[in-house]
Chains A and B, each alone.
Chain A
Amino acid sequence: MTTNPDQTKPTAPPIAITAAKEPSTLDVSVGPQHPGSGHLRMLMRVDGDYIVSVDPDIGYVHRGCEKIAEYRTAVSNIPHLERPCIIDAIHLNWGYVLPIEELQGIVVPPRGQYISTIAAEMNRIMSHLYWLAINAGVFSGHTTIFMYAFGDRDLFIELAEMLTGARLTYSFLPPGGPRRDLPAEFQDRLLKLLDYFERRLVEYDRIFFSNPLVIARAKGIGTLKRDEAIKLGMTGPVLRGSGVKYDVRKVEPYGAYADLDFEIPVFEEGDSYARFLVRFEEMKQSIKIIRQALEKMPKGPIARKAPLIIPEGEAIGRVESSRGELTYMVKGDNSDKPSRVKIMNGSFRSLIALPYLIRNVHVADMPIIYGSLDYWPVEADR
């Protein structure tokens, strides 16, 4: 971790409390209109080229999903509960549907579970490609990987169009199971795409991941040690980059993950480069999962008729989204509208890493650390 050489400079207090206003510090607001930041404003207290402390000012895309969820029926909630993380829509949809199915006591038939797993893993690859293009590519100025990753992401999107009918906002899993079965030519088109994508990953490795310029910028920057990651409650690739082997697909298997075998990539260093590699390895694992799921695809019905009433009670459901553990708490009161929906997603939980990591680093390191967290402000603001 690069600390500023002379310790006399003011260093930030432990957590998120902005440093005292010293005469030598300057407040720089990296606002919502900035090529290096997403939909949030980071009030950076800068001393020369060193960032002393960052106070993230979020809420620019706060649309009150939890308040609106109390005014829509259980099925009509799916489109707007999916919008916070539009590039990873299946997981937000699946996470919301699991507690409702638990309350209503429905079990999705095995073929529906397999189709949901395939759609979820395809969505994980698309979300990681979006991260690779925007958060790792454009934020660090590497526009070649932006062009490569978005080119390949469009191929996966064409297949998602064939399966669900929409590019990003699938609304594919109402309570009871997926809405559509696999179209005819979907299977061999997907297998051909996976072979092609595996060759492309070798090219990604050569142009980006083992590119000495990227390694120089990302290695050793924004290091989050193992106990710090646990203390701050990190999740997903940020947690697995710091050496904690925790993945909801293994801890509490849902869908068809119980009978598919795949590994969980874990790296010990905990710096931005380790988080880059975790997502890179996860894409390879997703390819393996999709291939197995396509082979073991059972026959039979894909969905079950679900009642429209959410019975009395409270249930918690969680899935492993591309940004980590996504937990939903749905409280029903015997009407067709849920009485309370609480969303705990990966981005809001990794928000605390921003002020914790972006301290005593160069200003140029901020986009790399911010990009390595894969923080999607729309999902965090809900």
Chain B
Amino acid sequence: MSQETLQDFAGVWIGKISEVVRAITGSGPIKFMINWSRMYALWPVHITTACCSAEFGAMMGPRLDPERFGLQAVAGGLRQCDLIIVEGTVTKKMAKRLKIVYEQMAKPRYVVAMGDCACSGGLFHDSYSIVNDVHKLFPVDVYIPGCPPRPEALLSAIVKLREKIRREEVFA
């Protein structure tokens, strides 16, 4: 077959295959399985933006033990992480690096805005070196107010985020 017919022959099938895959994963048990596995393997990126990291560390401690939800403190690669917790104030200098970190992460990635400063600039809303609204940098899934929020409150935000993952489309 000539080059062009090969192109559109493949094009038809490839187009078709992706529709078939989307139809399969979009329904019933397969979707539940994929969302269930994403829900139970939320690895947070180890980037501490500001003072809320003290409460994030307290949540990682033995008292609340978030590994029950698969939240393991991964020290290292961005490729394996799929949850970024914006812990506190994002200064303009940190915003550049945070954007780079967000773009390096693998696709199903979620963001929790922890603390007032991540939600709305909180205590330092009128400072000259602060990015007040973090949702302009990247889409935020769950906001948790508090300065800093209790570790249990952060865990309740993680539980809310998992609820959202459980119900979302696989290829959103």
Contact = CB atoms under 8 A, between A and B. Distances in A.
B57 interface: yes
28 contacts: A31-B97, A32-B47, A32-B48, A32-B49, A39-B94, A60-B93, A61-B49, A61-B50, A61-B89, A63-B89, A63-B124, A64-B129, A68-B126, A71-B126, A79-B123, A79-B147, A80-B123, A80-B124, A86-B51, A87-B54, A134-B57, A147-B61, A150-B58, A150-B60, A154-B58, A154-B63, A157-B58, A168-B55
A237 interface: no
B62 A64 contact: no
Contacts of B88: 61
A79 B51 CA distance: 13
Contacts, number: 104
Interface string A30-67: 01111100110000000000000000000111111101
A83 B93 contact: no
A176 B55 CA distance: 29
Interface string A207-223: 00000000000000000
Contacts of B78: 33
A60 B58 contact: no
A71 B125 CA distance: 12
Contacts of A99: none
A39 B55 CA distance: 15
A378 B61 CA distance: 21
At the interface, is chain A mostly helix, strand, loop or mixed? helix
A31 B96 CA distance: 12
A67 B58 CA distance: 30
A356 interface: no
A36 to B, nearest CB: 8
Contacts of A67: 127-128
Interface of B: 45-51, 53-55, 57-58, 60-63, 75-76, 78, 88-89, 91, 93-94, 97, 101, 123-124, 126-130, 147-148, 150
A33 B96 CA distance: 12
| Closest 5 pairs between A and B when the two form their complex, measured CB to CB | A150-B61, A35-B75, A86-B51, A33-B47, A63-B124
A62 B75 CA distance: 25
A68 B127 contact: yes
A86 B62 CA distance: 21
A144 to B, nearest CB: 10
A42 to B, nearest CB: 14
B127 to A, nearest CB: 4
A243 to B, nearest CB: 31
Given A63-B129, A64-B129, A68-B127, A151 B51 contact: no
Nearest to B121: A63
B93 A35 contact: no
Contacts of B126: 68, 71
Contacts of B148: 86, 167-169
B46 A33 contact: yes
Contacts of A378: 50-51
Contacts of A337: none
